């Protein structure tokens, strides 16, 4: 009964969420179209951007974990252009999972039980978690020769946090529910010493199905709707041309998976959002839908979240720092990687991760630390490492997705507007500094700083404080922006499934975003 050229499901955006949901829709027999504005990333997708030392291999720069940090220096069209987004983000097959560090931590059950609505509690997402774990490999020991590399920082941190501060050493994803004073080797979604992620797993199973189509270089500019029914997505071409892709009338669904900045933007340019923002879009000539056809909802783009980051530089005579190179890795490390997928280039520079839950009224605020293999900014001498401290779940301060006069999305996230957040992060630092060994010297903040001094320091801007981690989430929340089936409020067949619907997690987002996409797939399929 569906029109010949229409789809059962159109998914906008091939990030981790869009790939998972498109795979599950096609698996269920839906004629599925996945639209991605970016292009090739991993070698298997046709990606060929790489340093010359990878010539002759079946690797692009995306495949090699140790090239992670180079994305901040050269982007090769893997990130979103300033004609599309006012933020640093992945715009390529895999979305940010093609450019990120690959840290892959399962969120604790308490995140679902505390912050998610009915139908999304830990018991409800248990199958979704099992599915992600079955389909997406991860490891805390990525080097294929089985050895751990660049461990001097890990050993110093273990002495400090485990022997000194009483943290438990755990295999992080085996003890996923425990995020109080735990320490371990970071988990990465790598396989065989290479970057994995949904492009290497879910996208490959989708591509094997005849009812699945993937279109790259396809930027969706808006959703066409007939009142409460989404009918098509419009893809912009060069010179203002437009192509329309329709969903089956009566039964089709459109799923927005553009990420926590882009999905609210797509809703707004389709006449769904805060009337003040829609009025601005109209004034600027971006929106031409009459205000009587708007779906007014101030929750679209509201309560955007990112983790506030603090860099702490630490020096110890027992540490040997390691700087990664894009063009010229040391010969032994290059050979180790090329011949055995081993050595420092088999992972993305983080050598340790740890968490604590800081009491906050009747609840808790999650805090995470990760330790990098080198110093940063003004402290790049050898013997130095960088500790990234972020506040995570339970933080109170949030921001907003803001559209500029061109209708492009950017982020406004004023960290620590709620002082409890700064106190929690400062408490985390204060607690671990109480156990800092004499051999480990912190820079810029004294080892005996008071809680008040640390609270002021984390919430005062410098190159080391108030940093964005680029973990955008929570900008289209359950019950105010989407219902618990991920349907946009006021719409019949328009969904948001990506980091936008995920509340602030205790862990880095990707694992949680993939769980959310698995759970959303179950709920969407159950609607038919
Ligand atoms: C530098 C960096 C490092 C990070 N490190 C980690 C890490 O180590 N571990 C971790 O867990 N998280 C990390 N993150 C965050 C994590 O990658 C993101 O939270 C996650 O990828 C979000 O998934 P998503 O599916 O919601 O959106 P995204 O990954 O942003 O994917 C959205 C996709 O949709 C496409 N799209 C958007 N709008 C349109 C449109 N209009 N038309 C067509 N296509 C569109 C985009 O091009 C993009 O490919 C990092 C992020 C960055 C930027």
pLDDT of residue 240: 87
Q: For residues 367 and 357, what is the distance between their CA atoms, to the nearest angstrom?
A: 6
> Taking residues 478-505, what's their average pLDDT?
98
pLDDT single digits (tens) 28-65:
999 999 999 999 999 999 999 999 999 999 999 999 99
**H/E element holding 234?**
strand 229-236
Are 369 and 307 contacting, i.e. CB atoms less than 8 angstroms apart?
Answer: no
Are 138 and 104 contacting, i.e. CB atoms less than 8 angstroms apart?
Answer: yes
The alpha helices in 384-496, defined as continuous H runs, are: 419-433, 451-458
**341 three-state secondary structure:** coil
CB-defined site of ligand 1, < 6 Å: 12-18, 35-38, 88-92, 95-97, 99-103, 218-220, 257-260, 262, 266, 470-471, 498-499, 508-510, 513
Q: For residues 229 and 249, what is the distance between their CA atoms, to the nearest angstrom?
A: 9
CA 457 to chain centre: 27
Q: For residues 13 and 87, what is the distance between their CA atoms, to the nearest angstrom?
A: 16
pLDDT single digits (tens) 222-276:
999 999 999 999 999 888 899 999 999 999 999 999 999 999 999 999 999 999 9
Would you place residue 23 in the very low, low, confident or very high pLDDT band (cuts 50, 70, 90)? very high
> Taking residues 135-147, what's their average pLDDT?
98
pLDDT of residue 95: 98
pLDDT of residue 413: 87
pLDDT single digits (tens) 449-468:
999 999 999 999 999 999 99
With tokens 């269920």, the residue in question is 28
List the CATH code of the domain at 143-194+307-468: 3.30.410.10
For ligand 1, pick from 38, 72, 95, 372 the residue to mutate: most ligand atoms within 8 Å of CB: 95
| ipTM greater than cut 0.95 | yes
For the chain, the structural domain boundaries read: 143-194+307-468
> Taking residues 270-284, what's their average pLDDT?
98
The alpha helices in 252-380, defined as continuous H runs, are: 262-269, 275-283, 331-340
pLDDT of residue 1: 79
Would you place residue 71 in the very low, low, confident or very high pLDDT band (cuts 50, 70, 90)? very high
Q: Which position among 185, 430, 471, 495 bears the catalytic label?
A: 471
Are 283 and 46 contacting, i.e. CB atoms less than 8 angstroms apart?
Answer: no
Would you place residue 16 in the very low, low, confident or very high pLDDT band (cuts 50, 70, 90)? very high
Closest C-alpha to 69, from 372, 428, 342, 383: 372
* Prediction pTM value: 0.98
Whether residue 305 is predicted with pLDDT greater than 90 in this model: the reply is: yes
On the CB side of 2, CA atoms within 13 Å amount to 16
User: ∠ CA 420-161-384 to the nearest 5 degrees?
Assistant: 95
Closest C-alpha to 297, from 324, 331, 274: 274
> Taking residues 15-33, what's their average pLDDT?
98
User: Which residue has its alpha carbon closest to ligand 1 atom 47?
Assistant: 91
Would you place residue 178 in the very low, low, confident or very high pLDDT band (cuts 50, 70, 90)? very high
pLDDT single digits (tens) 86-126:
999 999 999 999 999 999 999 999 999 999 999 999 999 99
How many other CB atoms are there within 10 angstroms of residue 163's CB atom?
A: 12
pLDDT of residue 191: 98
**500 three-state secondary structure:** helix
Q: For residues 50 and 59, what is the distance between their CA atoms, to the nearest angstrom?
A: 8
pLDDT single digits (tens) 353-371:
999 999 999 999 999 999 9
- The answer to whether residue 471 is catalytic is yes
**For the chain, first and last CA: distance in Å?**
15
pLDDT of residue 237: 86
Closest C-alpha to 24, from 527, 524, 528: 524
Whether residue 182 is predicted with pLDDT greater than 90 in this model: the reply is: yes
Burial of 205 (0-12, 13-18, 19+ CB in 10 A): middle
């Amino acid at each position: 009964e569906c029109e010949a050229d229409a789809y059962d499901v159109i998914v906008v955006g091939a990030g981790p969420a869009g790939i998972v949901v498109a795979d599950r829709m096609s698996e269920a027999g839906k004629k599925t179209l996945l639209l991605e504005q970016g292009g090739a990333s991993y070698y298997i997708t046709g990606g060929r951007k790489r340093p010359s030392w990878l010539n002759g291999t079946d690797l692009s720069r995306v495949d090699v974990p140790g090239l992670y940090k180079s994305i901040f220096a050269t982007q090769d069209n893997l990130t979103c252009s300033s004609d599309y987004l006012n933020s640093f983000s992945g715009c390529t097959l895999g979305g940010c999972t093609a450019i990120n560090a690959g840290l892959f931590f399962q969120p604790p059950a308490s995140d679902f039980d505390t912050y998610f609505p009915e139908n999304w509690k830990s018991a409800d997402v248990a199958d979704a978690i099992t599915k992600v774990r079955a389909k997406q490999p991860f490891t805390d020991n990525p080097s294929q020769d089985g050895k751990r590399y660049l461990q001097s920082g890990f050993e110093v941190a273990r002495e400090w946090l485990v022997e000194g501060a009483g943290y438990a050493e755990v295999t992080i994803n085996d003890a996923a529910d425990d995020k109080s004073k735990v320490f371990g080797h970071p988990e990465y979604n790598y396989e065989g010493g290479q970057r994995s992620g949904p492009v290497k797993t879910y996208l490959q199973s989708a591509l094997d199905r005849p009812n699945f189509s993937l279109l790259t270089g396809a930027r969706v500019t808006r959703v066409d709707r007939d009142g409460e029914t989404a009918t098509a997505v419009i893809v912009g071409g060069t010179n203002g041309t437009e192509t329309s892709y329709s969903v089956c009338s009566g039964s089709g669904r459109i799923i927005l998976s553009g990420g926590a900045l882009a999905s609210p933007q797509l809703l707004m340019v389709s006449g769904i959002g805060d009337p003040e923002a829609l009025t601005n879009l109209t004034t600027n000539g971006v929106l031409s839908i009459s205000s009587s056809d708007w779906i007014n909802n101030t929750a679209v783009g509201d309560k955007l979240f990112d983790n506030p980051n603090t860099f702490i530089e630490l020096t110890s005579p027992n540490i040997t720092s390691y700087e990664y190179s894009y063009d010229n890795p040391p010969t032994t490390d290059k050979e180790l990687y090329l011949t055995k997928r081993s050595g420092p280039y088999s992972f993305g520079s983080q050598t340790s991760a740890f968490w604590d839950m800081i009491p906050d009224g009747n609840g808790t605020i999650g805090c995470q630390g990760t330790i990098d293999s080198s110093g940063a900014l003004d402290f790049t001498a050898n013997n130095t490492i960088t500790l990234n401290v972020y506040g995570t779940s339970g933080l109170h301060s949030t921001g907003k997705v803001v559209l500029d006069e061109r209708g492009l999305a950017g982020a406004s996230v004023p960290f620590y507007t709620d002082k409890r957040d700064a106190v929690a992060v400062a408490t985390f630092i204060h607690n671990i500094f109480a156990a800092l060994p004499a051999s480990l010297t912190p820079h810029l903040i004294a080892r005996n700083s008071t809680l008040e001094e640390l609270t002021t320091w984390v919430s005062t801007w410098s190159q080391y404080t108030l940093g964005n981690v680029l973990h955008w989430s929570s900008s289209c929340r359950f019950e105010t922006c989407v219902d618990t089936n991920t349907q946009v409020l006021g719409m019949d067949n328009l969904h948001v499934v990506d980091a936008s619907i995920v509340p602030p997690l205790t862990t880095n987002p990707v694992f949680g975003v993939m769980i959310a996409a698995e759970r959303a797939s179950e709920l969407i399929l159950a609607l038919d």
